[in-house]
Structure 1
Amino acid sequence: MSKPASATGQAPTGTRRFISGVVEGFYGRPWTMEQRTELFQREQKWGLNTYLYAPKDDYKHRMYWRDLYSDQEAEQLRALISAAKQHNVDFVYAVSPGLDITFSNPREVSALKRKLDQVRQFGCRSFSLLFDDIEPEMCPADQQTFSSFAEAQVSVTNAVYQHLGDPDTFLFCPTDYCAAFCTPNVLQSSYLNTVGEKLLPGIDVLWTGPKVVSHKISVASIEEVTSVLKRAPVIWDNIHANDYDPQRLFLGPFKDRPTELISRLRGVLTNPNCEFYPNFVAIHSLATWCRAPADGGQKDVEMGDEEQDSSYSPQKALTLALTDWLQEFLSTDQPGARLPKESPGEEPMQTDLGESSYVPGAGENPLYTAEPLTLEDLKLLSDLFYLPYEHGPTARSMLQQLDWLKNNRGDAAAETDKTAEWRSRAKQFDDMCEAVVKMFNRLSNAPNRRILYDLYNYICDIKSGVGLARAYVKTLGGQGRPSAQPMNQDPEPWGFRGGLSGEFQRMLPCHGNRDLFRHPPMTEVYCIRLYCPEDKTEVQRIFREMKSGGEGGVPLMMQPPLICDSLSAGDLSPSPQCALVLEDETGLVGYALALTDAKPAAAKIQRAVSDAVFRDFPSLVTVQVLPRVTDPSPARRMIGRLLSSIRSSGSRGVFCELRQSDKRMLDFYTKLGSFRPVQVAGLPQDIIAMATSL
């Protein structure tokens, strides 16, 4: 097998085989020897050729990399390497010494060579040095020997590579293994440029793409890093990795990598889900992608429309994978999937010989019969657990329906033009939820229990979440019983999600702003700041918007004016340090304004207010927040700060006026706890005054 081109900036020619397969490189419980052997069988069947052994939790791979394998461990690795050879899979042994190696210490380099020599005695001929996920700092001894961290890594890697006799496959994982880690960018990265210039040309470099978990990998990005590394990279693809989030599983197809990349890469290795059996789709669809014509001639395009790549269709690849996976689910030739066969001459076990099989009578429940799992069930399962940056079509549809039903819930009870639409969409949503439940039941009864056990926690979780949403929609439509309401003051533990981790996340201001489904209301980040003259137009806009709406069917413009209307409309300026505005990411959404002396405002609308009222409550406050701000806490914080400023001015108390039809603001002031209704002579019939002492 020939070596790649020398370090001239040219990618290797087509003389070396394209590396394709799986890297076991995740954090978590490593796969078993039996599972790895099964993987080799699958790789051979599907045309993949490489397995990179790099489980982070194999202590002798990473944390205790200096330690040699025991006799028992050696026997296991020897058997594993032999099994890979039997299935024409190149077994690449990786070691990660970067946590604590001293690059300048010859004894450390000797320990590394000794470790790889041991593995070479097991029959391994392909190797890898990984320096990922480590601190990019050198110890004082290394700083005296090497000019940079990259030079230290390259020096040791070159020495080990030559010691092993320049193996045909030798992979190097840099510390800056994606574009996001490069400073200031890929082309100007001194680290990557050192690797490109000084790493021996026969050593291949692993690369994850634009990010650690890359959404899309473009031809342009690969050509860029190739020019710096002076060799085509091997993609270590984390698109199906889930070790960073134990609540997620990825069952969508390999996608958003145009097949034009194949001729520009040294290879692709997928680092998939921690759970072995759910990786069927990830590995199967990668194999389909690798078989795509290398001369497809496709342009470097955004892959949102799969038809733009005629050489590979993610949806077709997914269907092929799920069709084959269904046969695995239905296979009973698995440990524990069926009772052992009776030995010849052994008496069959019989019980209740005097009774025949039970047959339910008329009007009784029929016996439960497990329905067989279907391809549609697996398509639904894939949609619910799709990919890191997107949900599958059915999952997106469910979220969109729930969002619409929640935002239009007022149409569920009243007989309006939208009532029929609301009920129809609620029925559609309920049908989709029922499909999830049925899928769960059929999965739970599938003969292959090994696959089920890897999936069970995930499908239980999604079934529970869907059940809560389903009960909520029924409640919105007036169909839910009180006991079925998913959100009450004393829920069962399955009625809320997330444990301590969920509690922490919900307390953070940006919780939810990276949800894949962007439309449902989520926790917003609000900014409260002092009012400035430039805000006058926006405050007037909010005032007009609220004034034109009204509650109770009567527009506010047709109701008696409030003293504070002049303040909101900009006819009167708020007192110094007594005006605040509320902003979200779109702009102003609310304000809180005050006058430390309210008499001029009362005189402006010819409102007669007794001196006794002004003596106890000389100041006036008005608060208004747009209805789309459903969280009351920003408005509470705003008025709290405002009352503090009014108190600092020497005022004894503050009052506000509200219209009886404005139920929202009446509820707001009432729940503050400090404001109480006060009697003010001469108030119009529909106006209420509330006040608080300072």
Structure 2
Amino acid sequence: MSTPGSTKTQTTRFISGVVEGFYGRPWTMEQRTELFKREQKWGLNSYLYAPKDDYKHRMYWRDLYSPEEAEQLIALISAAKQHNVDFIYAISPGLDITFSNPKEVAALKRKLDQVKEFGCRSFSLLFDDIEREMCAADKQAFSSFAHAQVSITNAVYQHLGEPETFLFCPTDYCAVYCTPTVPLSSYLNTVGEGLLPGIDILWTGPKVVSNKISVESIEEVTSVLRRPPVIWDNIHANDYDPQRLFLGPFKDRPTELISKLRGVLTNPNCEFHPNFVAIHTLATWCKANTEGGQRDVEMGDEEEDLFYSPQKALTLALTEWLQEFLNTDQPGGPCLKARLKKELSDEEPMQTDMGEGSYVPGPGDNPLYTAEPLTLEDLKLLSDLFYLPYEHGQTAKNMLQELDWLKNNSVAATAGADQTGEWCSRAQQFDDMCEAVVQMFNRLSNAPNRSILYDLYNYICDIKSGVGLARSYIKNLGGRGRPSAQVITRDPEPWMFRGGLSGEFQRMLPGHGNRDLFRHPPMTAVYTIRPYCPDDKVEVQKIFSEMQGPQMVQPPLMCDSLSAGEISPSPQCALVLEDDIGICGYALALTDAKPAAAKIQRAVSDSVLKDFPSLLTVEVLPRVTDPSPAERMIGRLLSSIRSSGSRGAFCELRESDQRMIHFYTTLGSFTPIKTSGLPQDIIAMGTSL
């Protein structure tokens, strides 16, 4: 397998830092300069300039920068150098470039030459998020889209003098985009074989937003690319959902990856100030050394990495971030107010009611409002409420679990003393958690650093409102308050809904909620239906025995011999149902029911067998509360029976088995069959095919 030293000199540094690569309003020049200071302070070394909404980076990539724009970029590149940060200029020509046109290649070189004149020495070509179809001219010149990209990238790289840092972003930049797989991707193999060895390749991991990035997955893509990738990490990106913000730590990337990568760049939240945690924790991760570092003795038992604890890294970041919040030398903060007060004092005094001192409330008056200072616990709560794309923080999980329990056990609020006591106690705990959110909001709202607050304000307002609705709902369930306007009624106010039109579209589409992070019991589980195989016989027999219940003297059903394995199902007529625990149901059929009838010496009239010659049985365990998996099994089974030429199928049920009688009845296609010779407590139901 390739190693960093196989394509770069051993002295080449590990690329670590930030990519400004999101969709939306780019950061300001002042914010980028502040970023460089932080990177230098925390030990990061790179900044990739790739804002999607900089027109001359993407949409109008051919256009040269104006003198005013050039002045800004020159200042920015200079600021990066002052803080030992490698400024990597990226350009995205893939929306409309004609690869085979020499004028287009010349335009691309001319644009990058201009940026090089600004003092930039590191570059990147990005071909992400574009159409894969080539124009007619390119199809004649190149055998594939990958060959076209490789050709122009190599040409630009050599034109620029083969810079020490030159990054390439492929169109298939994550595993899910690779067809059929990463090792077998013709696109990725062409890129790996064709790109010159000095060019590094960006990669986001298994997905666009990867939950976890394993060592094995990196070794796999490294083999295909013929070089270790640079991770473009979207774990903190939020440009795909304007209602989400991510303040959790950099995690689920083992530090063992450090020696197997060329670098890691985080593409974080669109808002600048909330990225303090994302960048700070990445810096902590980058400092971990799996070969010479010391084991982190403070990590929790749940941590698997010996050299990096996400929770400890988060606490370090939040502790330092707290000082930023309390920085009073900010626009609108107390420092500014003090300066304004001093300036006013130098001028003529304003007309005031002389003689009146500061207001002091009387014994029965409201006390003066005082803003309590923000605490580290407030920031930990904030992080828990806005954690990571695939995970809520612990406090958020606790609140959701308590709300779910209180809803599902609301009858306990009016039941016996013991039940009422538990419900009320847990309701009070939930209310305390809601109050903590409100107090956190109040302290954040009064923090001196208004710049950070304004980046957070929409998010914390939204969560405060959502928590308030849940709080009122639980209070009403427990009879602790009068009916509130906050509880959803037939005439709710517009501010009570989340998501607007987008939310309504989602609720109307199938599968809504499948990506909810809080997995509560009523949610549909994931089931797999597959063909029955001989190894399943024992599990099917176990389910059959369990659903039979206590052995009683009762006449057998025709399908019992099928479920018990005494008679084998017909070919293509046997299915099993699995969930995350194991086999939880089955569907078996005989295209010809006569062997089963003979097995128990059941007399079945010829007229019945003429219309319903096939026999089937379906059984699922009680833990399968969703009827749709059993319905899908029935549908597939009937399709197989129909393919055999059968005119119809029937099943036998006990009158006491109301669960399965209800199931077959609600299917709509099964109806009772009148047939003689059935024991008293057995009924038959059939369907025509």
- TM superposition score normalised by structure 1: 0.74
Sort the Cα spacing of 1:272 and 1:485 in 2 relative to 1 into closer, same or farther, 3 A.
closer
1:285 aligns with 2:286: no
Distance in structure 2 (CA, Å) of the matches to 1:163 and 1:304: 51
Distance in structure 2 (CA, Å) of the matches to 1:128 and 1:163: 13
Distance in structure 2 (CA, Å) of the matches to 1:155 and 1:286: 34
1:333 aligns with 2:329: yes
Distance in structure 2 (CA, Å) of the matches to 1:221 and 1:305: 25
Shift of 1:373: 0.4
- Counterpart of 2:433 in structure 1 is 432
Contact 2:584–2:624 under 8 Å retained in 1: no
Shift of 1:306: 5.1
Contact 1:509–1:523 under 8 Å retained in 2: no
Matched letter for residue 460 of structure 1? C
Q: SS of the residue aligned with 2:16?
A: strand
- The aligned runs of 1:108-187 (5 Å cut-off) are 108-187=104-183
Matched letter for residue 466 of structure 1? V
Sort the Cα spacing of 1:324 and 1:304 in 2 relative to 1 into closer, same or farther, 3 A.
closer
Sort the Cα spacing of 1:297 and 1:49 in 2 relative to 1 into closer, same or farther, 3 A.
closer
Matched letter for residue 314 of structure 1? P
Shift of 1:417: 3.2
- The aligned runs of 1:322-401 (5 Å cut-off) are 322-337=318-333, 338-339=336-337, 340-341=339-340, 342-343=342-343, 345-347=346-348, 351-401=352-402
Contact 1:12–1:232 under 8 Å retained in 2: no
Contact 1:9–1:227 under 8 Å retained in 2: no
Matched letter for residue 211 of structure 1? K
Sort the Cα spacing of 1:304 and 1:387 in 2 relative to 1 into closer, same or farther, 3 A.
farther
Matched letter for residue 208 of structure 1? T
Distance in structure 2 (CA, Å) of the matches to 1:322 and 1:220: 32
- Counterpart of 1:497 in structure 2 is 498
Distance in structure 1 (CA, Å) of the matches to 2:373 and 2:323: 11
Distance in structure 2 (CA, Å) of the matches to 1:248 and 1:387: 9
Shift of 1:170: 0.5
Shift of 1:8: 11
Q: SS of the residue aligned with 1:422?
A: helix
Number of residue pairs the alignment of both structures matches: 565
Contact 1:150–1:194 under 8 Å retained in 2: yes
Contact 1:27–1:243 under 8 Å retained in 2: yes
Contact 2:4–2:262 under 8 Å retained in 1: no
Tell me the alpha carbon deviations over residues 305-349 of structure 1, each in whole angstroms, 9 at most, x when there is no partner: 653212111001000000010000011111222323434944565
Shift of 1:353: 2.4
- Counterpart of 1:513 in structure 2 is 514
Gaps of 5+ in 2: 528-540, 550-558, 560-576, 586-621, 632-661, 667-689
1:204 aligns with 2:205: no
Sort the Cα spacing of 1:507 and 1:629 in 2 relative to 1 into closer, same or farther, 3 A.
farther
- Counterpart of 2:444 in structure 1 is 443
Distance in structure 2 (CA, Å) of the matches to 1:392 and 1:373: 20
Sort the Cα spacing of 1:264 and 1:348 in 2 relative to 1 into closer, same or farther, 3 A.
farther
Bigger Cα displacement from structure 2, 349-358 vs 337-346: 337-346
Distance in structure 2 (CA, Å) of the matches to 1:475 and 1:186: 54
- Counterpart of 2:650 in structure 1 is none
Bigger Cα displacement from structure 2, 89-98 vs 473-482: 473-482
- Counterpart of 1:563 in structure 2 is none
Shift of 1:507: 1.3
Matched letter for residue 162 of structure 2? D
Distance in structure 2 (CA, Å) of the matches to 1:188 and 1:500: 41
Tell me the alpha carbon deviations over residues 115-155 of structure 1, each in whole angstroms, 9 at most, x when there is no partner: 10111111111100000001111111111111111110010
Contact 1:306–1:314 under 8 Å retained in 2: no
Matched letter for residue 469 of structure 2? L
Contact 1:29–1:57 under 8 Å retained in 2: yes
Distance in structure 2 (CA, Å) of the matches to 1:381 and 1:629: 36
Q: SS of the residue aligned with 2:303?
A: helix
- Counterpart of 1:95 in structure 2 is 91
Q: SS of the residue aligned with 1:48?
A: coil
Distance in structure 2 (CA, Å) of the matches to 1:115 and 1:485: 56
Contact 1:6–1:201 under 8 Å retained in 2: no
Distance in structure 2 (CA, Å) of the matches to 1:186 and 1:418: 55
Sort the Cα spacing of 1:11 and 1:222 in 2 relative to 1 into closer, same or farther, 3 A.
farther
Sort the Cα spacing of 1:515 and 1:482 in 2 relative to 1 into closer, same or farther, 3 A.
same
- Counterpart of 1:689 in structure 2 is none
- Counterpart of 2:424 in structure 1 is 423
Tell me the alpha carbon deviations over residues 623-672 of structure 1, each in whole angstroms, 9 at most, x when there is no partner: xxx999899xxx9xxxxxxxxxxxxxxxxxxxxxxxxxxxxx9xxx9xxx
Q: SS of the residue aligned with 1:202?
A: coil
Matched letter for residue 312 of structure 1? Y
Sort the Cα spacing of 1:353 and 1:412 in 2 relative to 1 into closer, same or farther, 3 A.
same
- Counterpart of 1:56 in structure 2 is 52
Q: SS of the residue aligned with 1:418?
A: helix
Shift of 1:510: 0.8
Contact 2:203–2:230 under 8 Å retained in 1: yes
Distance in structure 1 (CA, Å) of the matches to 2:115 and 2:222: 31
Contact 1:24–1:271 under 8 Å retained in 2: yes
Shift of 1:351: 3.1
Contact 2:208–2:234 under 8 Å retained in 1: yes
Distance in structure 2 (CA, Å) of the matches to 1:23 and 1:498: 29
Distance in structure 1 (CA, Å) of the matches to 2:419 and 2:126: 60
Distance in structure 2 (CA, Å) of the matches to 1:351 and 1:98: 65
Distance in structure 1 (CA, Å) of the matches to 2:59 and 2:75: 23
Matched letter for residue 413 of structure 1? T
- Counterpart of 2:248 in structure 1 is 252
Tell me the alpha carbon deviations over residues 407-444 of structure 1, each in whole angstroms, 9 at most, x when there is no partner: 11111111153222111111111100000000000000
- TM superposition score normalised by structure 2: 0.75
Distance in structure 2 (CA, Å) of the matches to 1:477 and 1:229: 61
Q: Supply the RMSD in Å over aligned alpha carbons.
A: 3.9
Identity percentage over the alignment? 79
Sort the Cα spacing of 1:238 and 1:108 in 2 relative to 1 into closer, same or farther, 3 A.
same
Contact 1:259–1:298 under 8 Å retained in 2: no
Shift of 1:399: 0.7
Sort the Cα spacing of 1:507 and 1:136 in 2 relative to 1 into closer, same or farther, 3 A.
same
Shift of 1:354: 2.9
- Counterpart of 2:316 in structure 1 is 320
Distance in structure 1 (CA, Å) of the matches to 2:414 and 2:249: 42
Sort the Cα spacing of 1:243 and 1:371 in 2 relative to 1 into closer, same or farther, 3 A.
same
Distance in structure 2 (CA, Å) of the matches to 1:351 and 1:261: 67
Shift of 1:521: 3.5
Which one of the candidate residues 21, 34, 37 is aligned to 1:38? 34
Q: SS of the residue aligned with 2:48?
A: strand
- The aligned runs of 1:529-544 (5 Å cut-off) are none
Distance in structure 2 (CA, Å) of the matches to 1:462 and 1:243: 19
Tell me the alpha carbon deviations over residues 29-65 of structure 1, each in whole angstroms, 9 at most, x when there is no partner: 1001111111111111111110000000001100111
Tell me the alpha carbon deviations over residues 177-217 of structure 1, each in whole angstroms, 9 at most, x when there is no partner: 11111111111111111111110111110010111101111
Shift of 1:298: 11
Shift of 1:458: 0.3
Sort the Cα spacing of 1:82 and 1:629 in 2 relative to 1 into closer, same or farther, 3 A.
same
Tell me the alpha carbon deviations over residues 52-86 of structure 1, each in whole angstroms, 9 at most, x when there is no partner: 00000001100111111111111111111111111
Q: SS of the residue aligned with 1:62?
A: coil
Contact 1:260–1:297 under 8 Å retained in 2: no
